[in-house]
Structure 1
Amino acid sequence: MDFFELNAFLTLSKTLHFAKTAEKVNLSPSALSRLITRMEEEAGCRFFERSNREAKLTEKGREFAAFAEKCLQEKEDIFTKLRSSGSAVTGTLKVYASVTACYSIMPPFLQKVAERLPDLHLNVQTGDPAQAVQAVKNGEADVAVAAIPETGLSGMDCIPVRRTPLVFAASTGGPYEKVSGSPQDIVSSVPLILPKTGLARERFDFWTESRNVKPQIAAETEGNEAIMALVQLGLGIGLVPHIVLTNGPYEKGFTCHAAGNALGSYEVGFIQKKQYTGSQSYKKMRMEIDKILHE
């Protein structure tokens, strides 16, 4: 067995899904299945109970996962030691952020990281902000930018950066540039473009259900950028955090319709696990990142 195989096995042990794991390790699902079978044959035991494309770890599979994780951590430690000079902080920090966050929240953070940790490698993944929490929970990201509920996030260290209200965005010059009435009147009469999931959608659904409002939903999509693209086409008004309209490419060409107190505001900031494990070099890196985040 080599390091690539151990990493593929460990990734599958966390996702328990062959197709998702295959995409992460750049293999086809069938190739991944053959790889796992070869590893099981070499070990002389079954690591997974398989059902279609999903998998469940056996007891021996859990034991081997602990070994694989320790082995990969020690590999990272020795490689870091060989590459580094002195006490430099090295390694790879995995960050998950939406495109909007890359325009607004991320720049000051990245600047500090570059200044203090010049040997650190950054792996930034962009995507739907509603998936940020899960990305950290699954280990796909060490740090993420996310909407922070008033009650916080269980098991997460939350560092608020900016408070933003939820608003409705319309295309300037489009059919919904000018709308009037209460938020209740607007959502029941104007086509809406909503996020499929996330804190904004939870707030919206709770409010409409509590007021017995029947919204006119034109489209549901993932990510604020997709919402804004459909808004620009004139399909309706989109529910987004106000920060989307004040940063990046959406500062011009769009009109903001306030939602009043109906949907409220929330904090946007960084999240990370309160506790983390890994190699000594990884822990050292995370301690330095923790200092930067809390400043």
Structure 2
Amino acid sequence: MDFFELQAFLKLSQKLHFAKAASEVNLSSSALSRLITRLEEETGSVLFDRNNREVSLTQDGIRFAEFASKCLEEKQELLFDFEHRSDEVRGMLHVFASVTACYSIMPPFIRELSEKYPHIQLSIETGDPALAIPAVKEGRAELAVAAIPYENKLEFDTVHVSRSPLVFAASCDGPFTKISGSPQDIVSSVPLILPKAGLARRRFDSWVKSRNVKPVVSAEAEGNEAVMALAALGVGIGLVPKIVLDYGPYKEGFVYHSAGNALGYYDIGFVQKAQVTGSESVRRVRAAVTEILHSLDTL
């Protein structure tokens, strides 16, 4: 096996989708499939469970992913050390952020980091905000923009950046621009577009259960941007943090309805593991990142 094969394996372990992973490593789906088969033959183990509908890591695959990740990180560290024998802070920083976070939270951080530490390279994965904390827990990202968790505080180092209420977003061209009544009345009479997972969904489910409310759910989506795309079609009102409407492409074309105090606020910020592990280079990058984070102004 070689480094490219390990990189391709890791990409598939993250995407769990052959076509998407193959595109990112510049292979065809069939070529990626053959590569994985070669790795399985070489390791003498089944690394992925595959069928026509889904791909998942086996237990051996999880162990191999840990090995591959560590191997590639050590390779990167070694190359950096060979190429740059100086006191400059160098290394790779893996970040997970939603598309909205890339519009709103990330720019000041990236500007500061680039100015003070130009030799820190960024690898940014975008996706559903519900996946941000798991990405840090699993080690796929050293840093994430997320709704700051109230549980397991000792596990994470968090930096608060912004606070945003949860609201119901409606398309200006749709039938739900003018609705009235209490939050209970709205969710039981107006079609809703809800996130499939994450803090907003957990709060919503807990709230309707406590109020014995039967919501009208027209659709579920992965991520705030997907919720907004469906809301733009006029099929319902989407539950999102207001920050999604304040930044990026959703400033125009939408109105929002307050959820009152029923669903509370999102405390949004940067999240990283409290415990620092790894090589000296990794520790220096972490120290630099922490310095930048604590110097940021809140939104």
Instruction: Using structure 2 for the length normalisation, give the TM-score.
Output: 0.83
1:193 and 2:193 aligned: yes
- Decide whether aligned partners of structure 1 residues 107 and 194 sit closer, same or farther in structure 2, where only a CA change above 3 A counts: same
Cα separation, 1, equivalents of 2:67 and 2:107: 38
1:94 and 2:94 aligned: yes
Displacement of 1:188: 0.2
Say if 1:169 and 1:256, in contact at 8 Å, map to a contact too: yes
Residue identity in the other structure for 1:120:
I
Cα separation, 2, equivalents of 1:238 and 1:219: 9
Say if 2:130 and 2:197, in contact at 8 Å, map to a contact too: yes
- Decide whether aligned partners of structure 1 residues 89 and 51 sit closer, same or farther in structure 2, where only a CA change above 3 A counts: same
Give per-residue Cα distances to partners, 1:53-74, cap 9 Å, x unaligned.
Answer: 642239xx96x98876665454
Equivalent position SS for 2:284: helix
- Decide whether aligned partners of structure 1 residues 66 and 107 sit closer, same or farther in structure 2, where only a CA change above 3 A counts: closer
1:244 and 2:244 aligned: yes
Give per-residue Cα distances to partners, 1:148-183, cap 9 Å, x unaligned.
Answer: 233455622222111111011111242100000000
Say if 2:7 and 2:68, in contact at 8 Å, map to a contact too: yes
Equivalent position SS for 2:266: strand
Cα separation, 2, equivalents of 1:98 and 1:279: 28
Cα separation, 1, equivalents of 2:227 and 2:167: 12
Partner of 2:77: 77
Cα separation, 1, equivalents of 2:17 and 2:247: 38
Cα separation, 1, equivalents of 2:197 and 2:65: 32
Partner of 2:60: 57
Residue identity in the other structure for 2:80:
T
Q: What number of residue pairs does the alignment pair up?
A: 284
Displacement of 1:116: 0.7
Partner of 1:212: 212
Say if 1:22 and 1:32, in contact at 8 Å, map to a contact too: no
Residue identity in the other structure for 1:32:
I
Cα separation, 1, equivalents of 2:236 and 2:5: 48
Partner of 1:150: 150
Give per-residue Cα distances to partners, 1:21-61, cap 9 Å, x unaligned.
Answer: 975866623421322322x3xxxxx5668766642239xx9
Partner of 2:170: 170
Equivalent position SS for 2:125: strand
Cα separation, 2, equivalents of 1:140 and 1:66: 10
Structure 2: segments with no counterpart, 5+ residues: none
Cα separation, 2, equivalents of 1:98 and 1:252: 20
How does 1:218-237 map onto structure 2 within 5 Å?
Answer: 218-237=218-237
Give per-residue Cα distances to partners, 1:207-236, cap 9 Å, x unaligned.
Answer: 001111000001000111111111111111
Displacement of 1:253: 1.5
Partner of 1:255: 255
- Decide whether aligned partners of structure 1 residues 200 and 57 sit closer, same or farther in structure 2, where only a CA change above 3 A counts: same
- Decide whether aligned partners of structure 1 residues 47 and 232 sit closer, same or farther in structure 2, where only a CA change above 3 A counts: closer
Cα separation, 1, equivalents of 2:158 and 2:119: 26
Displacement of 1:86: 1.9
Residue identity in the other structure for 1:125:
E
How does 1:111-190 map onto structure 2 within 5 Å?
Answer: 111-151=111-151, 153=153, 155-190=155-190
- Decide whether aligned partners of structure 1 residues 154 and 129 sit closer, same or farther in structure 2, where only a CA change above 3 A counts: farther
- Decide whether aligned partners of structure 1 residues 224 and 159 sit closer, same or farther in structure 2, where only a CA change above 3 A counts: same
Partner of 1:32: 36
Cα separation, 2, equivalents of 1:181 and 1:157: 40
Cα separation, 1, equivalents of 2:39 and 2:4: 10
Q: Percent identity?
A: 53
Cα separation, 2, equivalents of 1:19 and 1:65: 16
- Decide whether aligned partners of structure 1 residues 153 and 33 sit closer, same or farther in structure 2, where only a CA change above 3 A counts: farther
C-alpha RMSD over aligned residues = 3.0
Instruction: Using structure 1 for the length normalisation, give the TM-score.
Output: 0.84
Cα separation, 1, equivalents of 2:157 and 2:282: 18
Partner of 2:273: 273
Equivalent position SS for 2:252: coil
Partner of 1:43: none
Cα separation, 1, equivalents of 2:237 and 2:68: 49
